[in-house]
Structure 1
Amino acid sequence: MIARIWHGRTDLSQADAYLNLMQTVAIPDYQATPGNQGVYILRRLDGEQAHFLLLTLWESKEAIKAFAGESITKAKYYSFDKQFLLEQEPEVQHYEVFATP
């Protein structure tokens, strides 16, 4: 199993609206991709900003490619991201998973 970790930041005032879009648009897209084995949204409020980590679990690199494209380290963004995110980080992180709940 492979964990894919994406990070993004919004202004604090837009954190709830962004979370709602993640839950209603992005998460169903992840979950509909064959080979996706789980999605977690993490949020940390920090002063006037909100940090989001999206942790997704995948059965293989091929499953990630089906979701993200041939270059699996490239971050995938949605049309609404530009109006919320303070920057669009170009890459994501991948880790092998050795233990699960």
Structure 2
Amino acid sequence: MIARTWRGWAPAATADDYQQHYETAVAQHLKNVPGFRGARLLRRPDGTEVEFTSIAFFTDLDAVRGFAGESFEDAVLEDDARRALSRWDDHVSHAEVAVAL
């Protein structure tokens, strides 16, 4: 299994907007991707912003490509996410899940 990890930051005023976007639009998109195996959105205060870390799980890199396309190391952000966030990582990381408890 592959874990796809990405981070973005939102001002406190729009952090809830980003979380709602993830819970609705991102979740709906991911659920339709063959090989998607779940996701977590982590949230923590970071000064005047809120840091979000998304970890999405896929069966393999082909499934990741089904979500992100051939440039699968680039971040995928819809316009609603861009409006809610102040900054984000342009690239994501992928790692093989070595142990799942």
Give the alignment's TM-score, normalised by structure 2: 0.93
Measured after TM superposition, the shift of residue 19 of structure 1 is: 0.5
Partner residue in 2 for 1:46: 46
Aligned to 1:66: 66
* Residues 4 and 93, structure 2, Cα contact 8 Å, conserved in 1: yes
Q: CA deviation at 1:52?
A: 0.4
**TM-align CA RMSD:** 1.0
Cα pair 1:8 1:87 within 8 Å, conserved: yes
- Identity value in percent: 31
Shift of 1:46: 1.8
TM-score, L = length of structure 1: 0.93
Distance in 2 separating the partners of 1:66 and 1:42: 23
Where do 5+ consecutive residues of structure 2 fail to align? none
Deviation beyond 4 Å, 4+ runs, structure 1: none
Residue identity opposite 2:97 in structure 1: V
Separation in 2, partners of 1:53, 1:84: 15
SS in 1 for 2:15: helix
- Tell me which amino acid in the other structure corresponds to 1:5: T
Q: Is the 8 A contact 1:31 1:39 kept in 2?
A: no
Alpha carbons 1:8, 1:53 under 8 Å: kept: yes
Q: How many residues align?
A: 101
- The range that moved more, 54-63 or 15-24, is 15-24
Gaps of 5+ in 1: none
Q: Is the counterpart of residue 5 in structure 1 residue 5 in structure 2?
A: yes
